[in-house]
Chains A and B, each alone.
Chain A
């Protein structure tokens, strides 16, 4: 979905839009779009992509699996 436009539109339910509008009153967020963008960015950053384990993580899991008799 390559596009030259900097912004695009997504649809959210109107009651949700209104809720957010209410929520951001008097905050630093100037629009619902600002808030939604912020929240989505936060979530995506937390997920850290869908890559598998880091080397250290994998070592930890392997050790545990070995102790449980699943690996040798």
Chain B
């Protein structure tokens, strides 16, 4: 199973189809389609939804941070320990199947697994123990001294980062191929994060409809060569497999051009929900650096590819002011207000706002009161303050070319089987597919069905 973080159907199956011969062969011979991600369609939790077959609500994971207690400022980054359900490799391990698991988020610190594990891009750095068993780290650093977990985005030298991402991805694939050839495994699963980084940082060079479009041939070619390299590695892996091995190429969510960023906390200030004591704030100031008047604040938000809105509830937050009996009404009112936010030119947005209980049967862990998809995720949310307008063309902290889209991809392939079938599917079908292919009949509480047409590769 090869995970391409953020791989989008529009790129893989359409725009770059002619320069990706191996991906195209897989789609021609296998079963493929769009893979609807979970809500929210974000790397954490999406990969673990795939690996456990559980919802983000069950996992209690809703993104790259969660609050510690009900603190205003104390946040926690997800770790491997936050995944409380069995993954498919745990289940397979009970049946004496050995797995190689590389960079599946969140997997730092690496947990003991039946097989080997290399932790993901949330690993602080190479000084840390990032493998199971521990000795594997030395082998990796010996054979792949430039192994990287992730890149850091730096605006002034943004163009150079694409070369770094190229080398990171190429190295991870070379390592994966070496493991596949030299180590014992029944189940193999790697995730490559580079595709996500390329999309977020360089989408403007391949999409003339992007508001930031730049006709830059060198960068466009670099974007394409990156995907060619990924395709070549997939081709190598495909060639190395025997006819008894099923290959699954998947992504956790898709991508689309970003229309802009909306400063949601500034909007909450304007609407009277959030009160700041500072008379002046520098542009892009973080909420945590501002002096929030919590005793007069009803709600605040976190930005990102989707926004999370928290109410300041009496008895829950340290200086909560919203009475519990008023909470339902307050939530309903704010929901409508957010839905009525319009674009910079008065255009109507297709904004989705929901409470976690509306989409999950079980809601564990630290959850916000509202999830917000601004204009159906076309606009990202900026939690920062001090901007001259609520509508930001560019993102002041990170890359600003692409946002997440709901549909990722999947391709199911087995050498020697010519199927050629297109059918859209869901991320919740991946864990059941894997268990089915290993003839695991017990459900382990996983509710989804295997991918449609799985019998063709059995």
Contacts and interface: CB of A to CB of B under 8 A. Distances in A.
Interface of A: 42-43, 46-48, 50-53, 56-58, 60-72
A70 B129 contact: no
B359 interface: no
Query: What are the 5 tightest A-B residue pairs by CB atom distance, in nearest-first order?
Result: A69-B398, A57-B124, A46-B134, A72-B383, A72-B303
A57 B63 CA distance: 18
Contact of B380 (A46, A56, A61, A69): A69
Contacts of B112: 43, 47
Contacts, number: 87
Contacts of A69: 153, 200, 304-305, 380, 395, 397-400
B395 A65 contact: no
Nearest to B383: A72
A72 B384 contact: yes
20 contacts: A43-B134, A47-B112, A47-B132, A50-B81, A50-B111, A52-B76, A52-B81, A58-B76, A61-B122, A61-B124, A63-B152, A65-B65, A66-B398, A67-B398, A68-B398, A69-B397, A71-B64, A72-B303, A72-B304, A72-B397
A46 B305 CA distance: 36
Contacts of A57: 124, 128
Contact of A47 (B129, B152, B304, B395): B129
Contact of A72 (B77, B197, B200, B286): B286
Classify the secondary structure of A's interface with B.
Answer: helix
B77 A65 contact: yes
A47 B136 CA distance: 13
B152 A64 contact: yes
B154 interface: yes
A71 B304 CA distance: 6
Nearest to A57: B124
Nearest to B155: A67
B271 interface: no
B3 interface: no
A47 B152 CA distance: 26
A50 B83 CA distance: 12
Interface string B125-156: 10011001110000000000000001011100
Contacts of A47: 109, 112, 129, 132, 134
Contacts of A53: 77, 79, 124
B371 interface: no
Contacts of A64: 150, 152
B202 interface: no
Interface string B285-311: 011000000000000001111000000
B382 interface: yes
Given A50-B81, A60-B125, A72-B383, A67 B134 contact: no
Given A48-B129, A62-B77, A71 B65 contact: yes
A67 B397 contact: yes
B298 to A, nearest CB: 20
A63 B399 CA distance: 14
Nearest to A58: B77
